[in-house]
Amino acid sequence: MRVAETSVPGAFVVTPEQLPDERGVFYESFRTDVLEEAAGRTFTTRQINYSSSRRNTLRGLHSVTSPPGQAKYVTCVRGAVRDIIVDLRIGSPAFGRYDVNVLDAGSARSVFIPEGVGHGFLALTDDACVCYVLSTAYVPGTQIDIHPLDPDLALPWGFTEPPLMSPKDSRAPGLTAVRSAGLLSRWAQEIP
């Protein structure tokens, strides 16, 4: 596996070494020891989620308050998505900086997202299936939603027609309002 830090501190892109043969392909999608060595922190799995989306579906921008905080290991296991992470940690030297990756089943590339960093994606194919390995279980009332089309963030989603969004994401406040509400994590809080 190749693990490379993104422009968002503490977030990593993980690209597995694929072993193809006449039957298909084999690869290690996730190794705690490799990720922990690169990230310099532990990552314990508490919950695994999947979403399936039709082409041009925009999901996000989501994070979780601290506590409990939530790190994620995100992989597109079918189809393809344009995945975007945004540093939302108050006091981070990279606050507001984003990183964009195409995650697709063919490359098996994944993204590790630390606590306090926002996440969203645009489905590039029909039936795009995303797996989320989470460090904490879902706790009602801790979800942070930021409008993914907030002009203050100006994220490069790359859609050519209006995306399909949930009512919750369509009504989400912008970054300024979420920050003013005191919902964002502090930079020091995200370091375990």
Specify whether the CB–CB gap between 84 and 100 falls below 8 A: yes
Q: Provide the token pair at 179.
A: 């920050």
SS3 186: strand
Burial classification of residue 11, based on how many CB atoms lie within 10 Å of its CB (0-12 exposed, 13-18 middle, 19 or more buried): buried
User: Whole-angstrom Cα distance, residue 157 to residue 103?
Assistant: 13
User: Whole-angstrom Cα distance, residue 14 to residue 2?
Assistant: 6
Partners of 76 in the β-ladder: 130
132 carries an active-site annotation: yes
Closest CA to 89 of 187, 175, 188: 187
Catalytic residue, candidates 27, 50, 73, 132: 132
98 carries an active-site annotation: no
User: Whole-angstrom Cα distance, residue 43 to residue 167?
Assistant: 32
Closest CA to 63 of 99, 18, 116, 21: 116
Catalytic residue, candidates 27, 50, 62, 73: 62
Please list the active-site residues.
Answer: 62, 132
